Amino acid sequence: MTATFAEATSSERVSLVDGVGHYDTSIRAGWDIGGNANGGYLLALAGRAMADTAGRPPLSLTAHYLKPGPAGPCTIDTETIRSGRRLATISATVRVADVPIMQLLGTFGDQTPGGPALVTGGPPALVPYAESAAPPAPDEGPLPEMMQRIALRLHPDDAGFRAGKPTGTAKMDGWFALADEEPIDAFALLLASDAFPPVVFNSGLPVAWVPTVELTVHIRGVPAPGPVAASFRSEYIEDGLFNEDGELWDSTGKLVAQCRQLALLPRG
Amino acid sequence: MTATFAEATSSERVSLVDGVGHYDTSIRAGWDIGGNANGGYLLALAGRAMADTAGRPPLSLTAHYLKPGPAGPCTIDTETIRSGRRLATISATVRVADVPIMQLLGTFGDQTPGGPALVTGGPPALVPYAESAAPPAPDEGPLPEMMQRIALRLHPDDAGFRAGKPTGTAKMDGWFALADEEPIDAFALLLASDAFPPVVFNSGLPVAWVPTVELTVHIRGVPAPGPVAASFRSEYIEDGLFNEDGELWDSTGKLVAQCRQLALLPRG
């Protein structure tokens, strides 16, 4: 039986004293792309341990990626920088064999719906999830295992790169869901923030490996049940770097997360 | 004589051993809005000490704001998480009277111009800086001192809030420069990322105090001489929170920084 996403991002709390936590866990197999764990998966793994230390869910979480994360044992050390009435700020280091692979800083706190509002953005026009086609298996074999654990449904207009015909526009819109209709919580939104193919794959530029330097996710709501609509884009791919900005909306059209990453574009 | 921005963001390096630094400095008077230091100023103050530890300029810097920063002595403790060939990752804590007021995490490294590019964004249409009017002094007295140390020139379309007539659009475009034509470097871009009036001032919503929870700035280039064009906006003001996204371009139209903050919108 395949573990749920919640199970695959759980850690064992070894100690939590005066806001300083130590967690034993592992980077589970099957959440990688080409042998190294997906950045969104690692963010969710660390974010869940940090939320345990904070005693509340993530509100804004930033990760800097230091080294690739292979499947296997790792530790997460957390430190409470400040714990206030509404918000707690936590830093964390993820280590594999005592070597830091990821450093994080986040503020944790519950959502507070309501109040004054001015919303001018919204989700992209997408074919309903139930009518969207699953991605075809690549010629060379089955889908990567991670793509069997999540359900991505790209907008057909943005799927050109899959057939070797990038659209020329650095954009990826589509749906995100977990396998077996597992509910999407704040941690799954962290995963979703880095689960889509990089937008540069549609840029037409010669790219293969695009390591993330930094990823920040702001959680903006508790998702209603159902798949999440997503839109990712970049207007500035240059000088060996690109930003990738994304928004995620729940099935009611409510914004539930905003994310931005800075990634390297290695020279061809 | 008024100190330059570079002087006002300098720190004394007390020690730097094995990548762990301790700096004595102070939050200078005159960089506040209503008694508490501006968030961009604090980011530049801390970022400059972190860059000293890293031995290279900021590339991506995130700050979580814990408490207001009054003028007076403070310390900055830095820690090198990883120092690689091209990039170094540094964390830092700013303390006033031994209490953390700001926690930071950043990756530092030189810009690497050139390579494949796809750029589809650009600066807003602005009246040339030299022809832009300085903001009027408020009825109740002179401009805040900080606004004498920097030169902001808002787009006339976005200045409505100044006359008590918010535009209804959460947007602020304009020019940023330092007083006395001091050159704009990466640290000044950190300042510029939080130097404009909050975009919610034009939203028409009842707002006064909008404390920043988190601010991330990606430095995307070394500015050419001259003022920097800026555009800030928010599409999602709701649930007691708003993001404010900004871009900064140098006088040649090149993107030099992208920033996003998550701020609280206290209920009226």
Are A232 and A201 in contact by the 8 Å Cβ rule? The answer is no
The rounded distance, in Å, linking the Cα atoms of A173 and B81 is 35
Range of the domain at A85: 5-108
Distance CA(A66)–CA(B107), nearest Å, equals 10
Could you count the other beta carbons within 10 Å of the beta carbon of residue A66?
21
- Whether residues A64 and B105 touch (CB distance < 8 A) is answered with yes
Mean pLDDT, residues B233-245: 98
A100 in any annotated domain: yes
Task: Kindly report, residue by residue over B90-123, the tens digit of the pLDDT.
Answer: 999 999 999 999 999 999 999 999 999 999 999 9
Candidates A60, A167, A255: best to mutate against B (most CBs of B within 10 A) is A60
CATH for B34:
3.10.129.10
Which residues of chain A neighbour B213 with C-beta distances below 8 Å? 59-60, 87, 107
B118–A237 C-beta distance less than 8 A: yes
The CA distance from A240 to the nearest CA of chain B, in Å, is: 6
Confidence band for A140, pLDDT divided at 50, 70 and 90: low
pLDDT at A146: 85
Best to test chain A binding among B87, B118, B250 (most A CBs inside 10 Å): B118
Let me know if residue A240 belongs to a domain: yes
Average pLDDT over all residues of chain A: 94
Q: What string of DSSP letters covers B104-142?
A: EEEEE------SS-EE---PPP---GGGSPPPPPPTTSS
pLDDT of residue A139: 67
- Flag whether residue A167 sits within 8 Å of chain B, measured between CB atoms: no
pLDDT at residue A144, as a whole number: 75
Is there a contact between A65 and A211 (Cβ–Cβ < 8 Å)?
A: yes
Q: Using one digit for the tens of pLDDT, what is the confidence trace for A4-23? A: 999 999 999 999 999 999 99
H and E: helices and strands count for chain A: 4, 16
CB contact under 8 A, A118 and B237: yes
The answer to whether the CB of A59 falls within 8 A of the CB of A105 is no
> B interface mutation test: which of A50, A64, A252 has the most B CBs within 10 A?
A64
Residues in chain A within 8 Å Cβ distance of B215: none
Least confident range of A4-13, B71-80, B206-215:
B206-215
Say if B114 falls within a structural domain: no
Of the residues A74, A108, A142, which one is the last residue of a structural domain? A108
> Tell me, what's the pLDDT at A246?
98
- Shared domain check, B242 and B195: yes
The answer to whether the Cβ–Cβ distance between B111 and A258 falls below 8 Å is no
Residue A192 lies inside a defined structural domain of this protein: yes
The shortest CB-CB distance from A114 to any of B66, B114, B239 is to B239
CB B47 within 8 A of CB B189: no
Q: Report residue A158's pLDDT band, with 50, 70 and 90 as the boundaries.
A: very high
Cross-strand pairs, A145: none
What are residue A138's phi and psi, to 5 degrees?
A: -65, 155
* Interval A227-255 mean pLDDT: 98
Per cent of chain A over pLDDT 90 is 84
Residues B84 and B148 in one domain: no
The answer to whether B222 touches B208, Cβ cutoff 8 Å, is no
Interface of A with B in 24-53 (CB under 8 A): none
Residue B49 resides in a domain: yes
Q: Does B255 touch chain A (CB under 8 A)?
A: yes
| Domain final residue pick, B49, B78, B108 | B108
User: For residues B258 and B228, is the Cβ–Cβ distance under 8 A?
Assistant: no
Q: Which of B111, B170, B218 shows the shortest C-beta gap to A118?
A: B170
Do B178 and B104 share a structural domain? no
Determine the residue of chain A that is closest to B104 in CA distance: A105
Q: Per residue in A65-104, pLDDT tens? A: 999 999 999 999 999 999 999 999 999 999 999 999 999 9
B83 plus B163 within the same structural domain? no
Residue A230 sits in a domain whose CATH number is 2.40.160.210
Residue of chain B whose alpha carbon sits nearest to that of A83: B66
Which residues does chain A have within 8 Å of residue B260's beta carbon, measured at their own beta carbons? 216, 258, 260
Do residue B67 and residue B144 come from a single domain? no
**B265 inside 8 A of chain A by CB:** yes
Domain end marker among A51, A75, A108: A108
State how far the Cα of A64 lies from the Cα of A212, in Å rounded to an integer. Answer: 8
Q: Which residues pair with B160 in a beta bridge?
A: none
For CA atoms B257, B262, B266, B268, the dihedral sign is positive
Do residues B136 and B257 both lie within one domain?
yes
- Do residue B258 and residue B148 come from a single domain? yes
CA distance A256 to A172: 18
Looking at the fold, whether A142 and A87 belong to one and the same domain comes out as no
Residues B53 and B154 in one domain: no
Read off the pTM: 0.97
Choose among A36, A35, A30, A39: nearest CA to A212.
A39
End-to-end Cα separation, chain B, in angstroms = 41
List beta partners, residue B238.
B241
A142 and A52 fall within a common domain: no
The reply to whether A212 touches chain B by the CB within 8 Å rule is no
Q: Give SS3 for B36.
A: strand
List the structure tokens of A139: 């010629």
Q: Which two tokens stand for residue B218?
A: 């990606």
Size of interface A-B (CB pairs under 8 A): 180
Q: Which amino acid is at B47?
A: G
Tell whether B113 is covered by a domain: no
pLDDT above 60: residue A268:
no
**Dihedral sign of CA atoms B163, B164, B169, B170 in order:** positive
What ipTM, to 2 d.p.? Answer: 0.96
Enter the DSSP assignment of B70. B
Write the pLDDT tens digit of every residue in B166-209.
999 999 999 999 999 999 999 999 999 999 999 999 999 988 88
Q: How many CA atoms lie within 13 A of A42 on its CB side?
A: 35
- DSSP summary character for residue A133: P
Give ∠ CA B45-B49-B54 in degrees, rounded to 5.
Answer: 140
Chain B stretch 77-136, residues whose beta carbon is closer than 8 A to a beta carbon of chain A: 81-82, 87, 89, 91, 93, 100, 103-107, 111-121
Number of folded domains that form chain B: 2
Q: How far apart are the CA of B2 and the nearest CA of chain A, in angstroms?
A: 35
C-beta atoms of B112 and A170 within 8 A: no
Rounded to 5°, angle at Cα A118 from A127 and A84 = 105
- CA dihedral over A65, A71, A77, A79, signed as positive or negative: positive
The verdict on a CB contact (< 8 Å) between B236 and A121 is yes
Residue A115 lies in a domain: no
A92 and A214 inside one domain: no
Considering the domain architecture, whether residues B134 and B87 belong to the same structural domain is answered as no
Q: Is B89 contained in some domain?
A: yes
Between chains, do B60 and A118 touch, taking CB under 8 Å as contact? Answer: no
